[in-house]
Amino acid sequence: MKNRKMVFITSFLVILALAVLPACSTLPLLSSGSLTGTSPSVSSTQEPVPTSSPTQPAIPQSAISTSGQAVLSAYEGVLSEIFNRVNPSVVYIRVVSQVSSSTLPGFPFGSPQDNTPQYQEGVGSGFVWDKEGHIVTNNHVVDGADKIEVTFSDGTIVNATLVGADPDSDLAVLKVDVPADQLQPVQMGDSTQVKVGQLAIAIGNPFGLQNTMTVGIISALGRTLPAGSASASGGTYSIPNIIQTDAPINPGNSGGVLVNDRGEVIGVTSAIESPVRANAGIGFVIPSQVVSKVVPVLIKDGKYEHSWLGISGVSLTPTLAKASNLDENQRGVLIGEVTPGSPAEKAGLKGSDQTVEVDGQQLPKGGDVITAIDGQPVRKIEDLISYLATDTVVGQKVTLTILRDGKEQTLEVVLAARPSQETRQSQSSSQASEAYLGVSVIELDASIARSVGLKSTTRGLLVQRVDPNGPAGEAGILGGSRPALVNGQIILVGGDVLQKMDDVTLNTITDLQNALSQHNPGDEVTITVLRNGKQIELPVTLGSRSQ
pLDDT per position as a tens digit, 326-382:
998 999 999 988 888 899 999 999 988 777 777 666 677 788 999 999 999 999 998
Determine the distance from the C-alpha atom of residue 475 to the mean position of all C-alpha atoms in its chain, rounded to a whole number: 31
Same domain, 371 and 489: no
Residue 58: predicted pLDDT: 56
Question: Helix, strand or coil for residue 180?
Answer: helix
Residue type, 118: Q
Domain stop point among 257, 274, 304: 304
Centre a 10 Å sphere on the Cβ of residue 137 and count the other Cβ atoms it contains. 30
Is 519 an annotated catalytic residue?
Answer: no
pLDDT at 485: 65
CA torsion sign, 172 to 13 to 545 to 508? positive
> Is 306 noted as a catalytic residue in this protein?
no
> What CATH number does the domain containing 375 carry?
2.30.42.10
Domain carrying residue 380: 307-417
Domain boundary among 357, 384, 417: 417
As for how many domains the chain has, the answer is: 3
Of the candidates 101, 102, 125, 140, the residue annotated as catalytic is: 140
Tell whether 425 is covered by a domain.
no
Single residue among 280, 304, 328 that ends a domain in this structure: 304
In a domain, 192, yes or no: yes
Same domain, 313 and 291: no
Highest-confidence segment of 43-52, 108-117, 505-514: 505-514
pLDDT tens per residue across span 157-195: 999 999 999 999 999 999 999 999 999 999 999 999 999
Q: Which of 101, 125, 219, 254 is catalytic?
A: 254
Share of the chain above pLDDT 90, in %: 47
Q: What is the CATH number of the domain that holds 140?
A: 2.40.10.120
What's 64's DSSP letter? H
pLDDT of residue 64: 56
Check whether 74 has a pLDDT greater than 90. Answer: no
Does residue 422 fall inside a structural domain? no
| Mean local confidence (pLDDT), 231-244 | 72
Percent of the chain with pLDDT over 70: 76
Confidence of residue 17 (pLDDT cuts 50, 70, 90): very low
Whether 170 is catalytic: yes
The predicted-structure confidence for 451-494, as pLDDT tens digits, reads as follows: 788 888 899 999 988 887 789 988 999 988 777 766 555 677 88
Residue 35 in any domain: the answer is no
Strands (E), 152-264: 157-166, 171-176, 199-204, 212-230, 236-245, 257-259
Q: Does the structure show a pLDDT above 70 at 3?
A: no
Give the helix ranges, DSSP H, for 392-475. 421-431, 446-451, 471-475
Q: Say if 55 falls within a structural domain.
A: no
**Does position 107 have pLDDT exceeding 60, yes or no?**
no
Residue 378 belongs to a domain:
yes
What pTM was estimated for this model as a whole?
0.66
Is residue 43, in this structure, part of any structural domain at all? Answer: no
**Amino acid 57: pLDDT:** 54
Out of 143, 166, 168, 170, the active site residue is 170
Considering the domain architecture, whether residues 223 and 137 belong to the same structural domain is answered as yes
SS3 444: coil
Residue 447 backbone phi and psi in degrees, to 5: -65, -45
Q: Report which of 309, 82, 117 is spatially closest to residue 199, judged by C-alpha positions.
A: 82
Residue 52 maps to a domain = no
Q: What pLDDT is stored for residue 217 in this prediction?
A: 96
* Residues 299, 321 share a domain: no
State yes or no: pLDDT of 260 exceeds 90: yes
Which pLDDT value is given to residue 165? 94
Q: Both 199 and 171 in a single domain?
A: yes
